Structure 1
Amino acid sequence: MTLRTARPRTSGDLIASIAGRVPMRNLHSQVLWQLGVAIVGGDFPEGSILPSDAELLQRFAVSRTVLREALKTLAAKGMIEARARIGTRVLPRARWNLFDSDVLAWHFETGPDEAFLRSLAEIRIGVELESAALAALRRTDEQAQALIDCARAMGETTTPEDFARTDLEFHRTVAQASANPFMASISTLVELALTAAFTISSPIKDPTAMAATVKAHSRIAQAIQAGDAEEARVAMKAVISEGLDRQMKAR
């Protein structure tokens, strides 16, 4: 069984860059990335036993400490479990922490299937519709104007990366405007979904799709500025659904 090797620039690098974080490049993160991608990609299927520590140490050419830390991190994410006299087993996907940034990035690195993308869109709908509605009722004048400005700036972006960053800033501002600290915390998943989706599809190369996306975000901003919670919900659902449709067509 051959482990996948990390590409020079992975989807994880892109996600971290767009979200404003510095990608980790130490030995621990490299081993963690390759093992995580191998598990998510099915090189090590659910229920299978990972190679022994001795074999993994030979493959990665790292210290036992580095390997053990990578395995502990995978265990903390609900992906593996070590048992005496059995070995380290890959746990069922139902146990994996899909809210974890690494786990989500590994799915996009290996190419998420339609079911995964739909599930991600559904959880976004569950979170962001209410976030937009609360923002319409609680936003400050400054936040309302920031959303209007952000939607306008989205239409002026010229690269997929700049578009993704502006899109991310828009949704972050909606979460902040909800004035609900839990909503803002959950929006981390939204951040990951948006930045990871960039690795599949961006509307910036399609003028028609770009215009529709900017208009849809402007609709959200205007509804929040007007204090129309129901319109904000409808407009947000349209944005998420259109994004999903675009990803499906790009696969």
Structure 2
Amino acid sequence: MTLMQAGGGAERASNHTAFVVEQLGRAIVAGEYPADTMIPLDPDLCEMFGVSRTVVREAKKTLIAKGLIQSKAKVGTHVRPADEWNMFDQDVMRWHAAVKNPTRFYEELFEIRMIFEPAAAAQAAGRVNQLGCEELYRLCDQIAAATSRADFALADYAFHKQVLKMSGNRFLQSLGDLVQTALYSLFMSESNRDYADRREGVAERHRAIAAAIASGTPEAAREAMGRVIHDGYWNAIPDARVAGG
């Protein structure tokens, strides 16, 4: 066996593992395997997905690390309660966004973002960075000029990531992946097809954040960020009911 062949085999096995993780993860999050129920035995999973036991074991290890399942010797593998899942895992968030009715998931994303993003904007305003502010304004222009929903979502994410970076707090910066998943899933949702009609208004609300940060006014930055998160949430989930909304 050549090194190239060996590498190719490893890549195929990795792809198979990712496929099994994707299918099982989506099924668990969608409720096809409720909490405390057993998932199929390894031989059955091998037959279901046409993969080896090694692939199934690796896939289960990945799902265990994400907090979705727990395996016990001589008992089997069961689904853990949803409140024990790793909600900061990008795959887990993506699977939630893909379910038929993700409203509760979006509500929870809204709540957590309202906790840390306005605080990050206020922190950034207390540490004014001219180059960072110029980048914020540039990204606002990208939002306004976006020619596709994907470009719109990516420019918005880059803006929020820049604010987190400008906060100077590494813990806040590490939450960027959560924001990315939240924004992208919201903007690419079926309810958000009107991005072209809204993009200038969205850009203006983001410019208000940039202006508050650039002027060194933390409270104004906090309030402006809160408005952006609130408006984005209500646009994506128009029938949602948020306390105080």
After TM superposition, the score normalised by the length of structure 2 is 0.87
1:9-158 alignment, distance < 5 Å = 26-158=15-147
State the distance in 1 between where 2:132 and 2:73 align: 54
- Cα contact 2:67–2:85 (8 A) shared by 1: yes
AA matched with 1:111 = K
Identity in percent: 38
User: Is the CA contact (8 Å cut-off) linking 1:74 and 1:80 kept in structure 2?
Assistant: yes
1:245 equivalent in alignment to 2:234: yes
After TM superposition, the score normalised by the length of structure 1 is 0.85
Distance 1:236 1:112, change over 3 A: farther
Query: Matches of 2:191 and 2:204 in 1, distance apart?
Result: 15
What is the CA–CA distance in structure 2 between the aligned matches of 1:153 and 1:199, rounded to whole Å? 17
Alignment partners' CA distance in 2, 1:83 and 1:104? 26
- Aligned position for 2:9: none
Q: Residue 38 and residue 156 in structure 1: after superposition, are their counterparts in 2 closer, same or farther (change >3 A)?
A: same
Aligned equivalents of 1:126 and 1:111: distance in 2?
Answer: 27
For residue 42 of structure 1, what is the amino acid of its counterpart?
G
What displacement does 1:112 show? 4.5
Is the radius of gyration larger for structure 1 or structure 2? 2
User: How far apart are 1:210 and its partner, in Å?
Assistant: 2.4
Tell me the CA shift for residue 249 of structure 1.
Answer: 2.7
Taking structure 1 as reference, are residues 141 and 201 closer, same or farther at Cα in structure 2, changes over 3 Å only? farther
Distance (Å, rounded) in 2 between the aligned partners of 1:54 and 1:83: 16
For the residue of structure 1 that corresponds to 2:78, the secondary structure is: strand
Structure 1: where are the runs of 5+ without partners? Answer: 1-24
CA distance in 1, matches of 2:239, 2:167: 32
Q: Which residue of 1 aligns with 2:243?
A: none
Q: Helix, strand or coil for the counterpart of 1:155?
A: helix
Q: 1:84 offset after TM fit, Å?
A: 2.2
